[in-house]
A and B are shown apart, each in its own frame.
Chain A
């Protein structure tokens, strides 16, 4: 099937070359970090995790969101999702690989990464996170590849793929729950120390992930022969709408608990994010943008006539995706470190090298996604010709 990747239009090749250039650029930056250490990033003794871990966290959500296509299709026989289930699975594959690369980029001693396996430590959530991510990657890769292979031959997929899909559904929930547990169990980091963290993570993932998937479907529809039905897109859009409402609702629950209880530790991070703390307010514009986009997105999605207009829908989905990204891919991780253990505020600004590495990793993700989707499109084209 992989051979299908080699034949494409000029536009396809230009896109691949463009990604390759960014990857090389990012890889060069990574080599610099590898040789000189993490001091080259914007991270510090107080803000010990930066863009790498925050992007990792966000992308775990994107990976988990494949389940929002799988559940309706496999458990509720929602037939319109049939053609796009595989797109969800392959999006998950690319997203999990991106997650793993971000973890690797964040390590101070990347050559020792096998120590997590050589010295397995069940009391560490990070150990479990590695286990569930690896399992999820394999599940989606095997399911997606086998189903597509069967498609190519014009036969139905072997029965065991169905068993794996049923396993993959709770597994998807587990990856984001475990990722939330990375944060939610740490004493003294009050922004993270909240029982609703896993719920928030899942809600924001089920909004941002399907939003991205719809946008990808629309791109495929525009440039390829892969035409996702309007019904499928509208169904997914409804999922995005309610997931985003749940996400915002959960966030407001945090705001209530922090400010009604008036406990300084619980208020500090939220104050830092929305009004600034002790004169430090780098993230304030980002968070207000997120808030405005979140409400804009929900507003547009809630009105059926707007949602059915695919131009408006695209704007709404982009708004939801960016809002979720600003909240989870920026604010959540960084604000957890504010204030530090001594009630001081240190701010974090990513360095250019760090940004180049982040871009490079995302480019790898897009490359994998492009290759996988290219296979899907090619196989579908072939079967359309044959039947």
Chain B
């Protein structure tokens, strides 16, 4: 056998070995199955309508934000440069900067807008992510696989809503009361609102919806009979930066008496 033939045999044996090993490597138990929870809430396109009239006071948003942040172990970091937030308060001028006007009514000017991830139909974060760590579920929710995130922060450059936060520092010491039923995040990954997929998977509505006292309406935008669609049929609703073509799934209804809108 000359050297060339020898190398060929070795290479073939190596590849064959790898293939056989891979074939034998199935660790799964034969009878075991993995399925969705039969209670899981399902939709074609989850969306939210936020009724601003239900957020008269800043505390109304604070209550929702606290519930969300405590439930998901979102750290409370005071330094705005390293801050992590999933849902928070902005005023009209900043949340809807492109609609700014010198002669904005005092009422709109002082309104409180909860802002969060818009779970876009064409999410830029998903498009730019180099590892599919951020992806869109078939039900329209944009979620993150923190295990896969390499922390390149391209999604943060891509998101036109500033909805994403990066764990610049270890979040653990900044979590007030740990919810042991939910994980924290590691340093060096990006995070954001998940529309509570872990609750939807079990048949529960998002936590912000539950504590919003009717301020956040949640449902299937694809279903004409859903509550969100009913609200959108009878109210004028706006979305943040819809002109960018991202297709935000979070709608804002100024609500109450129409004079403000």
B157's partner among A44, A124, A189, A265 (CB-CB below 8 A) is A189
Is A261 among interface residues, defined by CB-CB distance under 8 A? no
Chain A CB within 10 Å, residue with most, of B152, B162, B187 = B152
CB pair B130–A116 under 8 Å, yes or no, is yes
Is B244 among interface residues, defined by CB-CB distance under 8 A? yes
Contact A107/B151 with A121-B132, A336-B157 known, Cβ cut-off 8 Å:
yes
CB pair A119–B131 under 8 Å, yes or no, is yes
Q: Hey, which chain B residues are within 8 Å of A7, CB to CB?
A: none
A370 to B61, CA, bound (A): 59
Q: 1/0 per residue B143-187: CB within 8 Å of A?
A: 000001111111011111110011111100000000000000011
In chain A, what residue has the closest Cβ to B163? A341
Q: Hey, which chain A residues are within 8 Å of B116, CB to CB?
A: none
Q: How far is the CB of A36 from chain B (nearest CB, A)?
A: 8
Q: Hey, which chain A residues are within 8 Å of B132, CB to CB?
A: 119, 121
Q: Hey, which chain A residues are within 8 Å of B169, CB to CB?
A: 36-37, 39
In residues 10-60 of chain A, which contact B (Cβ within 8 Å)?
Answer: 36-39, 43-46, 48-49
Is B63 among interface residues, defined by CB-CB distance under 8 A? no
Q: Which residues of B contact A (CB under 8 A)?
A: 80-83, 90, 93-95, 97-98, 100, 124, 126-133, 148-154, 156-162, 165-170, 186-190, 241, 244-246
CB pair A39–B82 under 8 Å, yes or no, is yes
Q: How far is the CB of A223 from chain B (nearest CB, A)?
A: 40
Sample 16 A-B pairs with CB under 8 A, ordered by A number.
Answer: A37-B168, A37-B187, A44-B82, A45-B166, A108-B167, A108-B189, A109-B150, A115-B130, A126-B128, A126-B130, A130-B130, A186-B124, A188-B241, A341-B161, A342-B97, A343-B94
Q: 1/0 per residue A94-118: CB within 8 Å of B?
A: 0000000001001111101101101
A130 to B130, CA, bound (A): 10
Is A232 among interface residues, defined by CB-CB distance under 8 A? no
5 A-B pairs with least C-beta separation: A108-B151, A188-B160, A108-B188, A44-B81, A341-B162
In chain A, what residue has the closest Cβ to B154? A126
Q: Hey, which chain B residues are within 8 Å of A108, CB to CB?
A: 149-153, 166-167, 187-190
In chain A, what residue has the closest Cβ to B152? A107
In residues 118-140 of chain A, which contact B (Cβ within 8 Å)?
Answer: 118-119, 121, 123-127, 130
A59 to B54, CA, bound (A): 52
Q: How far is the CB of A365 from chain B (nearest CB, A)?
A: 21
CB pair B130–A38 under 8 Å, yes or no, is no
Q: Hey, which chain B residues are within 8 Å of A43, CB to CB?
A: 81, 168
Is A234 among interface residues, defined by CB-CB distance under 8 A? no
Q: How far is the CB of A75 from chain B (nearest CB, A)?
A: 34
Q: How far is the CB of A160 from chain B (nearest CB, A)?
A: 21
In chain A, what residue has the closest Cβ to B188? A108
Q: Which residues of A contact B (CB under 8 A)?
A: 36-39, 43-46, 48-49, 103, 106-110, 112-113, 115-116, 118-119, 121, 123-127, 130, 182-183, 186-189, 265, 336-337, 340-344, 346
In chain A, what residue has the closest Cβ to B82? A39
A297 to B80, CA, bound (A): 41
CB pair A115–B246 under 8 Å, yes or no, is no
Q: Hey, which chain A residues are within 8 Å of B165, CB to CB?
A: 45
A45 to B156, CA, bound (A): 8
Contact A187/B246 with A37-B187, A45-B82, A48-B156 known, Cβ cut-off 8 Å:
yes
CB pair A187–B151 under 8 Å, yes or no, is no
Q: What 12 additional pairs, Cβ within 8 angstroms, besides A124-B129, A127-B130? A: A44-B168, A45-B156, A45-B166, A107-B188, A108-B152, A109-B150, A110-B151, A115-B133, A121-B130, A126-B152, A186-B128, A341-B159
A112 to B145, CA, bound (A): 13
Contact A124/B97 with A39-B82, A39-B169, A187-B244 known, Cβ cut-off 8 Å:
no
CB pair A340–B162 under 8 Å, yes or no, is yes
Q: How far is the CB of B247 from chain A (nearest CB, A)?
A: 11
A112 to B132, CA, bound (A): 13
Q: Hey, which chain B residues are within 8 Å of A123, CB to CB?
A: 126-127
In chain A, what residue has the closest Cβ to B91? A342
Q: Hey, which chain B residues are within 8 Å of A46, CB to CB?
A: 81, 162
Q: Hey, which chain B residues are within 8 Å of A189, CB to CB?
A: 157, 160
A343 to B82, CA, bound (A): 18
Q: How far is the CB of B7 from chain A (nearest CB, A)?
A: 22
In chain A, what residue has the closest Cβ to B98? A265
Chain B CB within 10 Å, residue with most, of A44, A45, A344, A346 = A45
Q: Hey, which chain B residues are within 8 Å of A187, CB to CB?
A: 124, 160, 241, 244-246
CB pair B153–A109 under 8 Å, yes or no, is no
B129's partner among A109, A121, A337 (CB-CB below 8 A) is A121
In chain B, what residue has the closest Cβ to A342? B94
CB pair A48–B128 under 8 Å, yes or no, is no
Q: Hey, which chain B residues are within 8 Å of A340, CB to CB?
A: 162
Q: How far is the CB of B213 from chain A (nearest CB, A)?
A: 26
CB pair A48–B124 under 8 Å, yes or no, is no
B154's partner among A110, A124, A342 (CB-CB below 8 A) is A124
Q: Hey, which chain A residues are within 8 Å of B128, CB to CB?
A: 124-126, 186
CB pair B244–A109 under 8 Å, yes or no, is no
Q: Hey, which chain A residues are within 8 Å of B167, CB to CB?
A: 37, 108
In chain A, what residue has the closest Cβ to B246? A187
A46 to B154, CA, bound (A): 12
In chain A, what residue has the closest Cβ to B187? A37
